[in-house]
A and B are shown apart, each in its own frame.
Chain A
Amino acid sequence: MEIVDIVPPELKNNVIVTSVDALFKWGRANSIWPLSSGLACCSIEMMCAAASRFDLSRFGYEVFRSCPRQSDLLIVAGTLTWKMTPPLIRLYEEMPNPKYVIAMGNCNIGGGPFADSYSVVTGLDQIMPVDVYLPGCPPRPEALIDAMLKLKKRIQHPEAAQGSEERMNASREKLADMTRRAE
């Protein structure tokens, strides 16, 4: 939820929140702390992105927290199987808002080479809202850095990412439906 949305509609003409909102957006966009979780080979590239040749830390994104309570970004790096979805959804739900998801690698976009498999989730957006899709098998560390900069742009200028809101809302409903069924 944006700060603007908290303002009641009858006060919208009288209250200006835009500068504070912009400040917080700037803060969020420049300090994205990823959760250090990896599923398969993409996570090796994720580790490389933080190491010396590629150096994710230049942008301030190198703080890989091992606890979901303190992280902002879930990089789903690698092939996601149906067996792994409940722990992953749990990790996602343990993260505090505002939280973001990057679907890293072909497997998380459409199943990749395992599209016909019975056990692989063909598309991460079936189970959780995705902010940035990052193709590649696996994507190079530069590509991950580019994805995180795209996410930064998305946080600072949500209006630039047109149409993605509906997709995200659809996935959110699906996620809520799945958790209801699990309970």
Chain B
Amino acid sequence: MHNGILYLAGQSLKELMLPVIGSELIVNLIMTLICIVILFLLVATSALVFTLGERKVCAWIQVRIGPNRVGPWGLLQSTADMLKLLTKEDIIPHGIDRWLWVLSPILIFIPAAMVYALFPFDDGVIFADVNIGLFLLIAISSQSVLPFLMGGYASNSKYAMLGGMRTVAQMLSYEIPMVIALMGIVMITGSLKMSAIVEAQSEVWFIFLQPIAFFIFLVTALVESNRPPFNMVEGESEIIAGPFTEYTGMRWALFFLAEFANLLSIGILTTTLFLGGWQGPDFLPTQLWFWIKAFLMVIVYQWIGWTFPRTRMDTILSFGWKVLLPLALVNLLLTGFGIYIFRWLL
């Protein structure tokens, strides 16, 4: 029933292993472990690729060249950065809440990596295709608020504390319009299952059925992942580096890793929910369509980020509560009417 390249590869690997190992349970267990390793590799490499990509895109938008001396086309730039961050001195300041401070960069990485289990990468290729997929995804990704506040509180610094409180304010208030906007998709699909949402777009993508929801999602996804026009969390000119102020070397790099994992995951999420997921015309394999769309969306998010100046904190909050939330409710109402009229016409 499924015919994606990744799915077929997984199936043939299973068939190869089955006669050697014998037990189907152990084969499934091994396949699960392989999937987990692949997902973690994907998250880790996305951070390496997107640090360079971000700097290149930023350079092109500002009419510069960007990194091009370290390795061919600057490809080894992020490797050099990682090597340097690994060897930096690990400063643990006095007066911090030690356990919270140490745990915060580790905990922030968990929700960022965990949401990858719920993305349909290809036909039949989804690590956990649960029937409340979208709900679970939003529930997991909203957990990333807490480590920011933990890090900000534990650092025992004014700027870190302010940054942590800003995170809570903006992420929690933008969660609501995002969820209400995505309700429109759930109403049309009739399911929260991620694979069902992709299959419902086989004829027409949800970006055409739900343009208002797409706009709301575009803005809220930027806020949720702290991308530049809304990166109040580390507003350099105001609060130094927000919750990351006291972190050095690899501890800070973990925050960075989570940020770029989030960037790819909002790209994938936009693709899955609005751009038809892995589906596309037949001349290219479905897997390729998925990555083309996801990377295009990542570039769009970077483009928005490097074009607009950073907004003010009160503007973000009033825009979220006074514009996006009513707009999302109107979208919900319109979708309801639309579905009713559509059924009546049939």
Interface residues on chain B, size class: 35 or more
Given A65-B241, A70-B252, A96-B248, check contact A27 B68 (CB 8 Å): no
A57 touches B236 (CB 8 A): no
Chain B residues whose C-beta falls within 8 Å of the C-beta of A60 in the assembled complex: 67, 69-70, 74, 77, 80-81
Q: Mark A89-126, 1 if CB is under 8 A from B, else 0.
A: 00000001110000000000000000000000000000
A72 touches B83 (CB 8 A): no
Q: Mark A60-101, 1 if CB is under 8 A from B, else 0.
A: 101101110110100000000000000000000000111000
- Of B79, B88, B237, the residue contacting A96 (CB under 8 A) is B88
Name 28 A/B residue pairs within 8 A (Cβ), A-sorted.
A23-B83, A26-B83, A28-B83, A30-B77, A30-B80, A30-B84, A31-B77, A51-B64, A52-B62, A55-B65, A57-B67, A58-B67, A60-B74, A66-B236, A66-B237, A66-B241, A67-B244, A69-B91, A69-B246, A69-B247, A69-B252, A70-B241, A70-B252, A72-B88, A96-B88, A96-B90, A97-B89, A98-B88
Question: For residue B74, which residue of chain A has the nearest CB?
Answer: A60
The size of the chain A interface, using a CB distance under 8 A, is 27
Question: For residue B80, which residue of chain A has the nearest CB?
Answer: A30
Interface of B is mostly: loop
A27 touches B248 (CB 8 A): no
Does B41 reach chain A (CB closer than 8 Å)?
Answer: no
Interface residues of A (CB under 8 A from B): 3, 23-24, 26-28, 30-31, 36, 51-52, 55, 57-60, 62-63, 65-67, 69-70, 72, 96-98
- Taking the closest CB of chain B, its distance from the CB of A180, in whole angstroms, is 19
Q: CA separation between A65 and B248, bound complex, in Å?
A: 12
Q: CA separation between A69 and B55, bound complex, in Å?
A: 21
Given A60-B70, A60-B74, check contact A27 B62 (CB 8 Å): no
Chain B residues whose C-beta falls within 8 Å of the C-beta of A51 in the assembled complex: 62, 64
- Taking the closest CB of chain B, its distance from the CB of A129, in whole angstroms, is 16
Q: CA separation between A28 and B241, bound complex, in Å?
A: 22
Chain A CB count within 10 A is highest, among B80, B247, B249, for B80
Given A57-B55, A66-B240, A96-B249, check contact A27 B79 (CB 8 Å): yes
- Taking the closest CB of chain A, its distance from the CB of B127, in whole angstroms, is 34
Q: CA separation between A69 and B245, bound complex, in Å?
A: 7
Question: For residue A55, which residue of chain B has the nearest CB?
Answer: B64
B148-179: which have CB < 8 Å to A? Answer: none
